[in-house]
């Protein structure tokens, strides 16, 4: 039964990855999908899925983080099956592109793996009439370190070693620093080929935050969305990095766990200095995210993560994807759909889907504040 379930989940993830970056799914509106809903959305709750459609209608454009693409695929499909006449159009690009689109007023919300910077908040005030952009934590999960090394299925690394690998200071897989962490492993005398994101990426920034906090002597770069180290090879999006790691023997890269799961890519266990190395799993990421503190003020719910945790079983390389919206001044034509859709994604049903898709739900205490904030959007 466990194997069958794993295969079903893998098939689901593969199906999600096959969807194009610009997701346009249209609700079919059949009786089977509507669960007996009484035509029109007007505040009705669908019996099949408990999605409260309210006055949602028409198209809702959104864009940004590719980290949440697989979750957004599932959310949009389920939501539109329950809410007739609504089209969620999420363009999976990057966090940086999503913020630009949001501050240009071309999307109803943006997905970003990093909270808005002060200058981005200032720019948002031009779009959010009488308000500003805020961060709503919606998706959590581990940043998996995927590798492809023929003959090696299991690998443990720590922060200093990872920093030197991604900074191309460690160049061979049989380097003594790697061998010390993998006693008994047959590591080949093969060049390491590290891959990173080519575009501005919140995933890159979160990896940088981890390396800077856990290996400050070996990673001297600022944690920015643009890849800071001078060497290595670049690929577009998490999907692009994962595809390269899948194909290239001797490679290593970083991407969300769902990409590793769907493509059967081996992932690195992280030596945090705790009792045992920690695997990249949704459960282990949840243990780290549960310790997050809200650092935002007012309705902004930006989080502060502890990248140096040594808590038992806590996977330290995590990210939280935010949905960026206006607290006030949202466009009247899309506001009902934004609130309805985000209520679904932040709800019990939407958050439950995250674990099944290789992500981590937002901790309940924080998620309760997310729901309160969504209800207050205007």
At residue 44, does pLDDT exceed 80?
no
At residue 239, does pLDDT exceed 80?
yes
DSSP state of 45: B
pLDDT of amino acid 15: 40
DSSP state of 52: B
- Nearest of 305, 346, 348 to residue 325 by alpha carbon: 346
Q: Give the percent of the chain with pLDDT over 70.
A: 87
Query: CA-CA distance, 341 to 113, in Å (whole number)?
Result: 19
pLDDT of amino acid 358: 83
DSSP state of 127: T
Neighbours of 315 (CB within 10 A): 28
Q: Note the pLDDT tens digit of each residue in 50-73.
A: 799 999 999 999 999 988 999 999
Residue 178 tokens read as 């790697």
Segment 321-335 mean pLDDT: 97
Q: Specify whether the backbone of 313 is left (phi greater than 0), alpha (psi in -120 to 50) or beta.
A: left
Helix/strand/coil for 191 = strand
Using pLDDT thresholds of 50, 70 and 90, give the confidence band for residue 7.
Answer: very low
| The pairing of beta strand 22-26 with beta strand 86-92 | antiparallel
CB 293 within 8 A of CB 369: no
Residue 376 tokens read as 């207050």
pLDDT of amino acid 258: 87
Segment 112-133 mean pLDDT: 96
Q: What is the pTM of this model?
A: 0.78
Using pLDDT thresholds of 50, 70 and 90, give the confidence band for residue 355.
Answer: confident
Segment 257-264 mean pLDDT: 92
pLDDT of amino acid 49: 61
At residue 11, does pLDDT exceed 50?
no
Q: DSSP assignment of 62-107, as one string?
A: EEE-STTHHHHHHHHHHHHHHSTTEEEEEEE--HHHHHHHHHTT--
What value does the mean pLDDT of the chain take? Answer: 88
At residue 246, does pLDDT exceed 70?
yes
Using pLDDT thresholds of 50, 70 and 90, give the confidence band for residue 33.
Answer: very low
């Amino acid at each position: 039964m466990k194997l069958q379930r794993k295969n079903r989940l893998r098939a689901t993830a593969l199906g999600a990855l096959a969807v194009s970056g610009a997701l346009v799914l249209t609700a079919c509106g059949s009786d089977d999908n509507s669960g007996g809903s009484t035509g029109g959305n007007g505040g009705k709750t669908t019996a099949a899925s408990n999605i409260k459609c309210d006055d949602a209608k028409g198209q809702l454009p959104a864009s940004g983080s590719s980290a949440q693409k697989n979750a957004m695929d599932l959310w949009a499909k389920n939501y539109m099956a329950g809410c007739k006449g609504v089209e969620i159009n999420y363009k999976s690009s990057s966090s940086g592109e999503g913020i630009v689109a949001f501050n240009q007023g071309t999307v109803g919300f943006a997905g970003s793996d990093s909270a808005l910077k002060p200058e981005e908040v200032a720019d948002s005030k031009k779009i959010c009439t009488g308000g500003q952009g805020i961060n709503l934590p919606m998706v959590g999960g581990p940043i998996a370190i995927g590798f492809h090394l023929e003959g090696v299925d299991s690998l443990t690394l720590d922060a200093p070693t990872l920093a030197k690998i991604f900074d191309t200071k460690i160049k061979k897989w049989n380097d003594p620093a790697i061998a010390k962490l993998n006693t008994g492993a047959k590591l080949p005398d093969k060049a390491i080929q590290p891959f990173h994101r080519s575009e501005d990426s919140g995933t890159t920034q979160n990896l940088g935050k981890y390396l800077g906090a856990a290996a400050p002597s070996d990673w001297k770069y600022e944690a920015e969305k643009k890849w800071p180290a001078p060497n290595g090879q670049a690929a577009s999006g998490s999907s692009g990095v994962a595809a390269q790691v899948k194909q290239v023997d001797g490679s290593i890269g970083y991407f969300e766990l769902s990409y590793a799961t769907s493509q059967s890519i081996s992932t690195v266990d992280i030596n945090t200095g705790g009792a045992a190395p920690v695997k990249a799993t949704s459960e282990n990421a949840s243990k780290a995210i549960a310790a997050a503190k809200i650092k935002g003020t007012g309705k902004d719910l930006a989080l502060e993560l502890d990248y140096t945790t040594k808590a038992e079983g806590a996977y330290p390389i995590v990210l939280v994807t935010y949905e960026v919206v206006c607290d006030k001044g949202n466009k009247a034509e899309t506001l009902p759909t934004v609130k309805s859709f985000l209520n679904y994604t932040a709800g019990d049903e939407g958050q439950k889907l995250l674990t099944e898709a290789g992500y981590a739900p937002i901790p309940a205490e924080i998620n309760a504040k997310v729901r309160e904030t969504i209800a207050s959007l205007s």
